[in-house]
Amino acid sequence: MIILSFLISLSKVVVDYSFLQLARPKFSWKEQTIDNQEMSFLQHLLSDLKIQFSVSMFYRSASFSDIFSYTAYRQLSQMFLAILFFHGSEYILALASHGRSNVTLNSLLISKNYLFAMIFSLLEYFIEIALVPGLKELWWVSNLGLGMVIIGEIIRKTAIITAGQAFTHLIRIRHEDHHKLITNGIYGFVRHPGYCGFFIWSVGTQIMLCNPVSTIAFVVVVWRFFAQRIPYEEYFLRQFFGSQYVEYAQRVPSGVPFVS
């Protein structure tokens, strides 16, 4: 749009100058006066062109200022701090529970699919704040997302601390002596508080950024992941704990919506 406006202004200069040349008298004794008039005319047109270009550049700088506004600074800062704290605390708690020799970088929970999802959400954010900056000014929505991030974080970290060594990032397919069925604390309200917390946290990050597309995508993708993971994990838990886990599963919900 900016380039088009500039080209229109430039074409106006060319057309007006062409008419000036066609209307120019052929008498040599007036040549000096006409040259002065022509120079004055060109200076006026060039002045108009500079004004048009300055206005265009102002609108362009305005769109860039939206990207580097207080809104973007606050929301993106919250996003990066949330990600940093989530993954850093996951790794530290894994070290505390299982020891350095039993913990790898996989405990950071950063996969290729996760990175793709986060990059996609940031691209959506930058596109929307440049094209529809008012969408990011819905602070009640953004604050709701921030609240979800905090609540999800608290639920998940409470689950990790409560379970201790029984909490792992990988599904156990073999029973170990220290692996006990945890039903106290937060596990008395939901069977999989770690999954529940991550679901709330991940969706909350996108609501916090006021990303409508990524919010829907995160809900669908994360829910589908847990809808497949929970039955698979509970198959082994039933093998490990038998009727004790069956009774527990009947009494306590999974913690993920619409997953029994």
pLDDT in tens, 44-85: 655 654 555 454 444 444 445 655 689 999 999 999 999 999
93 and 52 within one domain:
no
The answer, yes or no, to whether residue 27 has pLDDT greater than 50, is no
Q: Do residues 56 and 180 both lie within one domain?
A: no
Mean pLDDT of 143-147: 98
Q: What is the pLDDT of residue 100?
A: 83
In sequence order, which residues have a C-beta less than 8 Å from that of residue 66 and are 6 or more positions away? 72, 129, 130, 133
**How high is the pLDDT of residue 34?**
45
Task: State which of 27, 50, 65 marks the end of a domain.
Answer: 65
Residue 259 lies in a domain: no
* Domain CATH for 131: 1.20.120.1630
146-155 average pLDDT score? 98
Cα–Cα distance, 202 to 226 (Å, whole number): 13
Rg (CA), the chain: 31
Task: From 43, 65, 87, give the residue that closes a domain.
Answer: 65
On whether both 34 and 46 belong to a single domain, the answer is yes
pLDDT at 215: 98
User: Which of 124, 104, 248 is closest to 183 using CA atoms?
Assistant: 248
Q: Are residues 33 and 99 in the same domain?
A: no
Q: Strand locations in 70-192, DSSP E?
A: none
Q: Which domain holds residue 59?
A: 2-65
Q: Is residue 257 part of a domain?
A: no
> 78: which 2 tokens?
């919250």
Q: 231 and 125 in one domain?
A: yes
Whether residues 101 and 214 fall in one domain: yes
Q: What integer pLDDT is reported at residue 73 of this predicted model?
A: 93
3-class secondary structure for 186-199?
A: HHHCCCCHHHHHHH
Answer whether residue 187 shows pLDDT above 60: yes
Tell me which residue has tokens 């974080």. 153
Residue 66 is predicted with a pLDDT of: 54
pTM of the model: 0.75
Q: Is the pLDDT of residue 228 over 80?
A: yes
Q: Are residues 163 and 118 in the same domain?
A: yes
What span, in angstroms and rounded, lies between the C-alpha atoms of 80 and 101?
29
Residue at 60 is within a domain: yes
How buried is residue 100: exposed, middle or buried, by Cβ count under 10 Å (0-12/13-18/19+)? exposed
Does 138 lie in the same domain as 18? no
What is the share, in percent, of the chain residues with pLDDT greater than 70? Answer: 72
Q: Which helix (H) or strand (E) holds 17?
A: helix 2-22
Are residue 34 and residue 132 in the same domain, yes or no? no
Q: How confident is the model at residue 103 (pLDDT cuts 50, 70, 90)?
A: confident
Residue 36, pLDDT > 60, answer: no
Q: Say what the alpha-carbon torsion angle 163, 166, 168, 174 is, to the nearest 10 degrees.
A: -160
As for how many domains the chain has, the answer is: 2
pLDDT for the residue numbered 4: 42
pLDDT at 40: 61
Tell me: do 229 and 190 sit in the same domain: yes
Selection from 38, 170, 160, 42 nearest residue 103 by Cα: 170
Q: Given this model, what pLDDT does residue 98 score?
A: 82
Q: Name 15's Cβ contacts closer than 8 Å, sequence gap at least 6.
A: none
* pLDDT score of 195 more than 50: yes
CA angle 94, 107, 176 (to 5 degrees): 60
Q: Count Cβ atoms within 10 A of the Cβ of residue 224 and give its class: 0-12 exposed, 13-18 middle, 19 or more buried.
A: exposed
Q: Out of 56-65, 106-115, 132-141, 216-225, which region has the weakest mean confidence (pLDDT)?
A: 56-65
Task: Give the pLDDT band of residue 117 (cuts 50, 70, 90).
Answer: very high
Specify whether 47 is located in the same domain as 74: no
Answer yes or no: is 224 within a domain: yes
Q: What is the pLDDT of residue 69?
A: 85
Residue 206 has pLDDT above 80, yes or no: yes
Distance CA 245, CA 249 (A): 6
User: Of 57-71, 84-98, 166-180, 202-216, which one has max mean pLDDT?
Assistant: 202-216
For residue 6, which of 60, 52, 54, 62 has the smallest C-alpha distance? 52
Identify whether residues 76 and 186 lie together within a single domain.
Answer: yes
DSSP for residue 170: S
Q: Distance from CA of residue 21 to its chain's centroid?
A: 57
